[in-house]
Structure 1
Amino acid sequence: MKLNFNSLIIFLATIVFALTAYFSVGYFHADEHYQVIEFAGLKAGWNTPQEVAWEYHTQIRSALLPTLAYWIFSFNSFFHITDPYTSLFVLRLISGFLCLFALVFFFRKSSIVIFKPEQSNSFFKATYLILLLLSWYIPFLSVRFSSETWSAICLLFALGFYFEIGKNKYNALIIGILFGLSFLFRFQMAFGLIGIGIYHLIYGQQKLKTTLSVLIGFSIVLLIGIFIDRWFYSEWVFTPWNYFWLFFENDILNNVESSFGTSSKYYYLEALVQLPTHFIGIVLLICFVIAVIFKPKNPVVWFIIPFVLIHSLIAHKEERFLFPIVFLFPFFIISAFLVMSQSTFLRKFFNPLVIYTIFALFFTHVVGLFFMTTKSAGLGRMEITQYIHSHYDTQKIHLINTPYSNPYNPWGSLPEKMYLEKKIDFQQIDNLANFSDTLFQTKSINLLVVRGYYLENNKLPKNIDKMGLKLIAQSISKKEQSMNRYVKGFENADVLYLYEWKRHNTSTTKRSRTHVNE
């Protein structure tokens, strides 16, 4: 069977997604770990209520995603897969391939709406598919076992079915189920679902019948979610109500300033331009405006506008809150390009914009896709723990760390039990001025973890050499740090450096000597 170009793109994307799942060790944001993996540990038996995040005690998180993680861990254990890093790789692989499937499904269904059958659109279709599957950020976000990614997966499937809502009598019910799952994975999806609901009441076909079917599907999922929460929290609880009431009580009734910080109302507009890099951000903003003006009857537009606007009104803002909709950005780029190519007024801007976009995409994709595919997640803390796990087996380890440098407990109050080694003890020093070789234990492997902040503000490196400490690993490689000058994805002060005391540990010297990333 002869493969077409689109099939080759999907095949290439499958490889990229698998590689990203393998290399993307750890988590991008703390919630991805502490409110999913550590929550799953409560049922898996390696965690206790006293050791998990406060969200568990306030019962404001749906237990659906932690329950899925628990089921997958149990499945892994049945096949004797007990290594934590392998188990988490399985989670990322499942997320990545499911998201890949959702993106291809969305591509096929949305293409029917975007492209006219009588026109030759092979170039635009291929470009659209490449943007959907191989934009530099897509594989990285796709492999995240997080509420943002799983809500996006359900949204992509739901929108794909919505484009053909009247084609099958069961489509509306399926859409309701998928919207319900998207909501349970991330409650803030309700903002966009309100927009979809209004759109359907205005433009939808068979409004009463389809609306009723959607609501039935949504209600079924909501009911299942209540039973899952009952099992997880050991009491009857309606987590969506708890979540939104906590927000309403703090932000509206009591006007309590968020302990996580506040941002400008224009934060997401600025993030939209800056985070994809200015090359792509400017194009994206232009394309979004064109799509809204010339394609106002599109359900995707009606979902995104209230989603972004309501998020902009909330004081606490983070770029990850937009992750569920960034998978839809290629939809707007292609929609705008088609509008421009067919508009007499806009056609004069079409060729320059396309040429600019191709250049911008080539630059960001070649560099960015390779960078994001091969790097660990976030600040790379799990690069350090994985190195310790793979190189020291069951040996007793004495880990010395500066404040906020302990990769197993970076904030000092919530241990990462999933990664924690059994034969390891910790000792924190307040600053490097207090560091000396008297802290070493002769019967243990002595390791020191230091944040880049302390190396930048102290003359420690020379002292380290004199004490017999050698750098053996770091959370972010030197190459990534060099590239970071252009993308500004992290602060060098937050990079972790792992040292080993070699003076009395010569048996491990050969094994560790060449591991530091160059």
Structure 2
Amino acid sequence: MHFNTKNVFYISLIFHILAAIFSTGFQHFDEHFQIYEFLNFKLGNIPSSNLPWEFQQQIRPWFQVFVYFLIYKPLSLIGIESPFIFSFSFRLFTSLFGLFALTRLLPLIKEWVKGERYQNLTWALLNLSWFVPYIQVRTSSESFGISFFLWGMSTFLLAISNKKDLFKSGLLSGVLFGLSYLSRSPMAFMVASLWFWALFINRSSFKVLISSALSILAIIVLGIFFDYWGYGGWTFSTWNYFKANFIDDALSSFGVHPWWWYFRLSFNRGIPIVSLPLIATTLWGWWYLRRHPLTWISLSLFAFHSYVGHKELRFIYPVIILAPIFLGLFISTYRDKIEQLYKKKWIRGIWKFCIYVNFLFLIIATFRAANPSVDFYKFVWKSDIKVLNVHDENPFTMLGLPLDFYKKKDLIINEVKSYPAEGEHYLFFNKGKFVSEMEKHTRCELIYLTYPRWVLKFNIGNWISRSRVWSIYKCSNFF
């Protein structure tokens, strides 16, 4: 199959934009509470007491929030009030910035991979692996940090390779590395590993090494001012992060896993027929390409997070994003043998099947909401609901924290044990069993359901009653 770099870029662009439109919500609670609610606080909409413990411990850097603040302000000045337009703008910016960072890697791919055909294949793997647009559209510190690092890595390595503008390129790459670090502190392992690779393996010019180091330090100092802007006082969030998570061992309270846990997560959370080749070729690269900069940067971060007891797949997103390049390197290295194998019909069948599966899940990941609760919040925001009576669970609270960013300021959440008997009122339920009960009341109208209404007709085995289903009923004289 022939891949054209421009065509791949345009296809990737389409998927990145579509992901910004449809991949609503947040994958992990930190993506919301440590970004959106921090911004909400800075806008003066909520008190600091509504924020998670990371704010009280001052361990969250404010750089990324500041960037979104710069996007929010102009939009608000032209009259935009919808939090869903704001969140879409943040996703679109983050996604397109991530795609731009990928384009910075194309010159490196042309240096690392032999043969134009395999360069184009690697470029396609990097852009169109099913998880790439999904990761890059996430407004999380992981995604933000990856993009700055990839841009900085390209600037740094191309300057070393071309031996041109070493001092200037060193300064620029150092700024980008520093911003990657300000987005997410553990990115420092990738930055340091690349710097040491240049010093000990490549024996690069001191111009690029010293200039990059100086600008990294300058950005770290600048980060203190971002934190001052956010917290309202002088602090150093990196030290606070290290102290809280490693000295005080706060990370262990979120769960501890063995060192091999990431291999299991990568296989289980991925699509086995796609994730297994990526895992295998990454391990191959770490062993056979030990002097390659990709090995140094990815293995260092992976080793660090494997050592730390608490493990989440998002922590190794930088490694996952780079895995398709290892696959491209593997194919180009053994291209003669692979081309011989590809002549066999069953091998071509497996390859085509992998491509179809990848594109199927690329479409699913792009069009599927990261968190479907946002659809509920959008419905309530657009409705004329002023008081929402809830029983058993407040939908605008998660992990014991108020979720205020998507909540209308005049919306009253009325937590009740029993429901009003007279007048028009709105009832919220969080379990499917209540749907079956409420359908018997002729004076109550179902106006929101997690699933399409027609699904109720296929309640085989009464599965709806056992499911977590959010619903809103508009009732009059309930009893």
TM-score of the aligned structures, taking structure 2 as reference length = 0.88
Q: 1:205: Cα distance to partner?
A: 4.0
1:449 corresponds to: 429
- Say whether the 8 Å CA contact 1:471–1:497 is kept in structure 2: no
Task: Work out whether residues 15 and 366 of structure 2, in 8 Å CA contact, stay in contact via their aligned partners in 1.
Answer: yes
Question: 391, 396, 420: which one pairs with 2:386?
Answer: 396
What residue number does 1:228 align with?
Answer: 226
1:197-208 matched pairs, under 5 angstroms: 197-208=195-206
**2:422–2:476 Cα contact (<8 Å) kept:** no
| Overall identity of the aligned pairs, in % | 24
Is 2:301 the partner of 1:307?
A: yes
Q: Give distance in 2, aligned partners of 1:305 and 1:290.
A: 12
Confirm or deny that 1:497 pairs with 2:464: no
Aligned to 1:419: 406
Matched, 1:246 2:244: yes
Greater Cα shift, 300-309 or 280-289: 280-289
Question: What's the offset of the Cα at 1:34?
Answer: 0.7
For 1:247 and 1:317, the matched residues in 2 are separated by: 13
1:282 and 1:27 map into 2 onto residues whose CA distance is 26
Aligned twin of 1:88: 87
Deviation at 1:478, TM superposition (A): 9.8
User: Partner letter of residue 79 of structure 1?
Assistant: I
Q: How many residues align?
A: 461
Q: Paired residue for 2:209?
A: 211
Cross-structure match for 2:284: 290
| Residue 165 of structure 2: aligned partner | 168
2:374 corresponds in structure 1 to 382
Distance 1:400 1:216, change over 3 A: same
Aligned residue number for residue 466 of structure 1 = 440
Q: Secondary structure at the match of 1:258?
A: helix
Match of 2:430, SS state, is strand
Which residue in 1 is equivalent to 2:462?
A: none
Give the C-alpha shift of residue 90 in structure 1.
Answer: 0.6
Cα 1:498–1:440 change in 2 (3 A) is farther
The residue type paired with residue 322 of structure 1 is I
Q: Distance in 2 between matches of 1:479 and 1:96?
A: 34
CA gap 1:332/1:356 in 2 versus in 1, 3 angstroms: farther
TM-score, normalised to structure 1, is 0.82
In 2, Cα distance between equivalents of 1:221 and 1:360: 46
How big is each residue's C-alpha offset from its partner over 1:141-178, in whole Å with a ceiling of 9 and x where there is no partner?
11111101110101111221133123322111111111
Partner amino acid, structure 1, of 2:388: H
Q: Secondary structure at the match of 2:472?
A: strand
Distance 2:158 2:466 in 1: 50
* Cα 1:290/1:258, change in 2 over 3 Å: closer
Output the amino acid matched with 2:413: F
Deviation at 1:503, TM superposition (A): 4.9
Q: Say if 1:466 and 1:317 are closer, same or farther in 2 by CA, change over 3 A.
A: same
Within the candidate set 385, 398, 406, 1:410 is matched to 398
Distance 2:276 2:285 in 1: 14
How far apart are the structure 2 equivalents of 1:316 and 1:229?
26
Q: 1:448 aligns to what SS in structure 2? A: strand
**1:205 to 1:410, Cα distance in 2 relative to 1, 3 A:** same
Amino acid in the other structure paired with 1:450:
N
3-state SS of 1:164 partner: helix
| Structure 2 runs not aligned, ≥5 long | 456-464
Q: Deviations over 1:335-358 (max 9, x none)?
A: 11111215x7x8776777974763
Equivalent residue, structure 1, for 2:352: 359
Contact 1:400-1:449 at 8 Å conserved across structures: yes
Residues 302-358 of structure 1, C-alpha deviations (whole Å, 9 max, x = no match): 01111111101111111111123322121111011111215x7x8776777974763
2:461: which partner in 1?
none
Counterpart for residue 145 of structure 2: 151
Equivalents in 2 of 1:442, 1:153: separation in Å?
A: 53
Judging changes above 3 Å, is the alpha-carbon distance between structure 1 residues 494 and 147 closer, same or farther for their aligned structure 2 residues? farther
- Who is 1:98 aligned against? 97
2:471 alignment partner AA: L
Q: State the Cα distance separating 1:479 from its structure 2 match.
A: 12
**Residues 357, 326 of structure 1: CA spacing in aligned structure 2 closer, same or farther, 3 A cutoff?**
farther
Q: Structure 2 vs 1, CA of residues 98 and 354 (structure 1 numbering), >3 Å: closer, same or farther? A: farther
* Structure 2 equivalent of residue 62 of structure 1: 61
Report the Cα offset of residue 422 of structure 1: 2.9
1:50 CA displacement: 1.1
Q: State the alpha-carbon separation in 1 of the partners of residues 259 and 454 from structure 2.
A: 35
Deviations 1:19-67 (CA, angstroms, capped at 9, x unpaired): 2111122111111111111111222111211111111111111111111
Q: In the alignment, which residue of structure 1 is the partner of 2:12?
A: 13
Post-superposition shift, 1:135? 1.7
Secondary structure, counterpart of 2:470 in structure 1: strand
Query: Residue 75 of structure 2 aligns with which residue?
Result: 76
3-state DSSP of counterpart to 1:399:
strand
Shift of 1:203: 1.8
Farther off after superposition, 187-196 or 145-154: 187-196
Offset from partner CA, 1:482-506 (integer Å, 9 cap, x none): xxxxxxxxxx97744223135569x
Query: Are the aligned partners of 1:280 and 1:360 in contact in 2 as well (CA < 8 Å)?
Result: no
**Partners of 1:374 and 1:289 in 2: how far apart?**
31
Structure 1: runs of 5+ lacking an equivalent: 481-491, 506-518
Report the AA paired with residue 354 of structure 2: L
What's the Cα RMSD here? 2.7
| In structure 2, distance between residues paired with 1:155 and 1:351 | 39
The one-letter code sitting in structure 2 at the alignment partner of 1:417 is: D
Alpha-carbon offset, residue 476 of structure 1: 6.3
1:205-249 deviation digits (Å, cap 9, x = unpaired): 434332211111101111111111122212111111111122231
3-state SS of 1:259 partner? helix
Aligned 8 A contact 2:427 2:475 in 1: no
Q: CA deviation at 1:465?
A: 1.0
Question: 1:311-350 to 2 correspondence within 5 Å?
Answer: 311-342=305-336
Whole-angstrom CA distance in 2 between matches of 1:129 and 1:213: 30
Structure 1's 257 and 24: CA in aligned 2 closer, same or farther, altered over 3 A? closer
The answer to whether the 8 Å contact 1:113/1:163 transfers is no
Paired AA for residue 498 in structure 1: S
* Equivalent position to 2:264, from 264, 270, 279: 270
Q: Displacement of 1:179 after TM fit?
A: 1.1
Shift of the alpha carbon at 1:472? Answer: 4.0
Matched, 1:136 2:130: yes
Q: Taking CA–CA contacts closer than 8 Å with sequence separation of 6 or more, which of the two structures ends up with the larger relative contact order?
A: 2
